[in-house]
Amino acid sequence: MWEIYKKEFLELVRDRRTLIFAILLPTIIMPAIFGGVIFVADKVNKKAQNEELTYIIQNADAMPDIVKELEKQDKFKHMSVDDIDTLTADDIKAKVQSGEFKFALILPKQGLSNLAQGKQATVELHFNNASVTNKIYQRVKSAIDVLNEKHQGQLLAKFNISKDQLSGLMNPIDIKRVNTADNREDIGEKIGGLLPYVLMILILTGAMYPALDLGVGEKERGTLETLLLTPVSRTQIVLSKFLVIFSTGFLTVFLTLASLVIWSLIALNVLAIGVLDKLTQIIALSDVLLVFLMLAPVAAIFASLLLCASIYAKNFKEAQNYMSPIMMFSFIPIIFSILPGVQLDNTWAWVPLTNVALAIKEIVKGTIDYGMMGIIFLSTTIMAGILLYFCNLWFNRESVLFRS
């Protein structure tokens, strides 16, 4: 059996596709993609924050303080437009859409009068808010907030009202939120749901090609008959193929976790990324090893499932058609783990894949129940064993092996 395992594994390692999916994808390609996304997002955000904002103001004489405050802002440019006070909302919309200016402010004609009487003055901000990176509203609001604080202080002095009295009038009963979750639990809740999704995808993709090659690939190459004539039982052949697929899937996730640790340390020490400093302080190496341990039975489930499909398929095309439903139905349990209200308990601990995804989230949060880990490991191992049993059952049937 071990001779078959070594032979099949060496052939896969020498294959270019295995090199790409099992080694390059988790160690270089995925980190490069994630790093590129973070880099581009940071650049886009900084560009939006530092972009020069051209603008017009309608009824500028109504509230001159706002005009002066905007003129003091960095990267703001006041544009001159003929007959500006005659522009309608549709005219302003058309000019914003054409790029003539970035935004327009329409000041209320009774603005100063309303403020003097302690009333609210409503300023209309016209801009294109379709882009998610748009910073126009935040930048204009921060400028006007300075005037809001100034006018609020004047009104409080005029009506002899203290800030505490104002708070009591506006919000008589206040609720103070006290978060009992520590920093690790807070960060873990945010990233813990995404991590198992990514890792399980990598296990599945890392195991998929070897499964196709070792099952239906043997049929198409005509080497299956030769393999069956060797003095090795069919159960041993199935176990050797299963172990090869399991090894490649497990190798993929091992390299992924290893590359995450290595690239995080590089980004922390070389690039000095502050966010990763906090992340490496709260997530220890022992937590990474626990995640690695929980993914072992997942790799076994995927290896058994993919080998079943590959053995049953008549040809390579049919086997590939089975892969999409397998991927879809494999992701559904993982999606359950990120639904609101779904927590790791005695019920969810027995649901395959969902339980592992929930456990990984709890490990990252630092709130894992080690008793639950035992239940999860047992349930996923039982599921992998059942699927492996069906692999062996089908491999011992001529009607399945040589379907026509």
pLDDT digit string, tens, across residues 97-129:
888 889 999 999 888 888 877 788 889 999 988
- Looking at domain 54-170, its CATH architecture is 3-Layer(aba) Sandwich (3.40)
pLDDT averaged over every residue in the chain = 80
Q: Distance between terminal CA atoms of the chain?
A: 28
Q: Is the pTM of this model over 0.85?
A: no
Task: Say which range, 8-17, 24-33, 174-183, 287-296, has the weakest mean pLDDT.
Answer: 8-17
Task: Say which range, 42-56, 246-260, 386-400, has the weakest mean pLDDT.
Answer: 246-260
Amino acid at 164: D
Higher pLDDT, 280 or 122: 122
Q: State how far the Cα of 266 lies from the Cα of 71, in Å rounded to an integer.
A: 43
Helix 285-312, helix 194-214: angle, nearest 10: 40
DSSP of 111-129 = HHHHHHTT-----EEEE--
pLDDT per position as a tens digit, 319-336: 888 888 888 888 888 888
Helix 30-50, helix 234-269: angle, nearest 10: 30
Using the predicted structure, report yes or no on whether residue 273 has a pLDDT greater than 50: no
Residue matched to tokens 């016209």:
126
**Domain ranges across the chain:** 54-170, 184-401
Q: State how far the Cα of 376 lies from the Cα of 369, in Å rounded to an integer.
A: 11
Q: State how far the Cα of 381 lies from the Cα of 298, in Å rounded to an integer.
A: 8
Q: Which two tokens stand for residue 76?
A: 């703001």
Using the predicted structure, report yes or no on whether residue 219 has a pLDDT greater than 70: yes
pLDDT per position as a tens digit, 165-197: 777 777 778 787 777 766 677 766 767 777 888
Using the predicted structure, report yes or no on whether residue 65 has a pLDDT greater than 50: yes
Banded pLDDT at 275 (limits 50, 70, 90): very low
Among 248, 243, 244, which Cα is nearest to 22's? 248
359 three-class SS: helix
